[in-house]
Amino acid sequence: MQTPERCNCGSEDCPRCYPLSRKQAEITDDDRADALDAIIEEVLDYGSFPKHGRAQIDLYEFVADNLDTSYAFELVVAALSTNKQALEIRIERLHDMVEAMLKKDIADTDMLEEMAQELANDRGQI
């Protein structure tokens, strides 16, 4: 018995083109929150998302587009001073601010939905 040829329609839910495709699990708010945290963690740790391949988010460009240049001068002045504790406080404040900006910027993107779908599918297999 021969297997039917692919119809090449391009639809991922076509049973002829993708006979082994599985149903997509429903995305929950927890999936979205976990995906958002994972994306932001990768951006802040590696400078881009995804860390390999073509970046959908580049931290350098994001900071250049969204932050005032005075933050760079503030950090340089703090680094040159002898009060290293003040530098740590400024870095932590800047980190928290950029993290909040990233969360707001990424919240309603296709990239977030795709990662949330992957997480939902992975949880559905357990």
Q: Summarize pLDDT for 85-111 with one digit per residue, the tens.
A: 888 998 999 999 999 999 999 999 999
Token pair 């969360």 is found at: 103
Q: 15-24, long-range: CB within 8 Å, 24+ apart, which pairs?
A: 22/121, 24/117, 24/120, 24/121
**C-alpha separations of 84 from 11, 70, 81 in Å:** 57, 19, 7
Average of per-residue pLDDT across 42-57 = 94
Task: Tell me what percent of the residues of the chain surpass a pLDDT of 70.
Answer: 80
| C-alpha–C-alpha distance, residues 109 and 103, integer Å | 11
Position 11 scores a pLDDT of 67
Mean per-residue pLDDT over the chain, rounded: 85
Position 1 scores a pLDDT of 45
| C-alpha–C-alpha distance, residues 39 and 32, integer Å | 10
Residue 20, pLDDT above cutoff 90? no
Q: What is the pTM of this model?
A: 0.73
pLDDT band per the 50, 70, 90 thresholds, residue 7: low
